[in-house]
Amino acid sequence: MGLEKKNVKEIKDLVKYIEENFLNVKEEDFLNITKALLEDNRKSVNKLAISLLKYRESMEKEIKRVTNMYNFDRTYSSNSYVIGADEVGRGPLAGPIVAAAVVLDLNIKDTKEMILGLNDSKKLSFKKREELSEIIKKKALAYKICLIDNKEIDTKGIGWCNNQVLLESAVGIDLKPSVVLSDGYKIKGINLPNKAVVKGDAKSASIACASILAKVYRDNIMIEYSNLYKDYGFERNMGYGTEEHINAIKSKGITSIHRESFLKNI
């Protein structure tokens, strides 16, 4: 492989490249490279080989996990589309509630076409959610994001708004599905086949995508609001009732984006 002529930094760069392009690396090439790294007389290079092998093991587990999520959705596809729907922002003291609905291509044959990393959006880092959101938007056959603001939440109640924002996102998809998979509970009033999936954002690829899109969209709204209302830490708490946020309410009062119906005990 000629790796003995490369310095450790060059080999580290090669390993990084392989990891970043793992799905496009041929198995034969991967095995030849790791064999050469293991046979190198430098211990630091041997460790890179072990690290690379561990990375492959973790990727194989991830591929299997996400494949199961796609397979879960395929059981409902019936040669048609599946909509996954989820919402974020039911509990915050400020800001809107947001829902997203997503249709994925479930007929993909190549692992490369899957969206790896899908999970409950709350279990992902801010950076990872942002990255996945862009990938989902590019690969999804269709998606729809809807929101209901704090004023309507105060007027109509969070329960109604929670259902309504899910309903609007799901029926906003132009493709006619065989089913709408919604996270946690059924959507009232929907005129489409609907199945509730408990902890759906960990089981269904489509619901996980919806969870991520909704979370990223809402977080970015709250970050924008943090520039307008600088004392409430919205860029950190996203409107949830953290100590910092509650103390700001007590000392500065409420803003135009606060849910007054949520603040009765503060």
> Contacts from 22-28 at CB under 8 Å and sequence distance 24+?
22/55, 22/56, 22/59, 23/111, 23/112, 24/112
Residue 95 belongs to some domain of the structure: yes
Both 159 and 203 in one domain: the answer is yes
Structure tokens that stand for 41 in this block = 């007389």
Predicted confidence at residue 2, as pLDDT, reads 66
Structure tokens that stand for 255 in this block = 């803003």
Structure tokens that stand for 106 in this block = 């479930």
Residue 246 belongs to some domain of the structure: no
**Local structure of residue 94 (DSSP, 8 states):** B
1 pLDDT higher than 80: no
- Residues whose CB is less than 8 angstroms from the CB of residue 69 and which lie 6 or more positions away in sequence, other chains included: 118, 203, 204, 205, 208
242 vs 248: CA distance, rounded Å: 10
82 vs 106: CA distance, rounded Å: 8
Predicted confidence at residue 131, as pLDDT, reads 96
Give the domain range for residue 162: 81-223
119 pLDDT higher than 80: yes
How many structural domains is the chain composed of?
2
Q: What is the mean pLDDT of residues 41-56?
A: 90
4 pLDDT higher than 80: no
